Amino acid sequence: MSEDRFNFELVTPEKVLVSREVESVCIPGVEGDMTILANHSALATAIRPGYLKVEESGKSETYFLAGGFVEISQKEVILLAEKAALESDVSVEIITDLIQKTEQALEHASELQKCVLAKKLNDLKSIKDQLQK
């Protein structure tokens, strides 16, 4: 592994979508987007619904993420996503389904869960609005 690359894994409950060396990833963190390069400080955080950009050898891929968690170390980034798909595979129908599921979860949530789910719902509605333009 070269010094300017690191191992990146994008994992969903169904499968491993990405597992290879990359130069950078831009992740939609709950407190803002963050770009990760090799030798990054260790960090673990939640991610919000949004788009993940993976850069490798001058090429990039963009994935939609419905939320999840990421663990970052100097040599590795492991992102565990609730749901993920290539940006080209994302449709208004998929986002609408996620919005409905989030609204249903809100009905039975504790106060703390309501705060988290309300933010997620807002992010998903924003993504849906962008797709409809």
Residue 46: pLDDT over 90:
yes
Q: Over the stretch 9-36, which tens digit does the pLDDT of each residue have? A: 999 999 999 999 999 999 999 989 999 9
Q: Over the stretch 67-106, which tens digit does the pLDDT of each residue have? A: 999 999 988 999 999 999 999 999 999 999 999 999 999 9
Residue 1 lies in a domain: no
Question: Which structural domain range is residue 103 located in?
Answer: 91-132
Check whether residue 49 and residue 107 sit in a common domain.
no
Helix ranges (H only) for the chain are 92-107, 111-132
Q: Domain with 22 in it: what CATH number?
A: 2.60.15.10
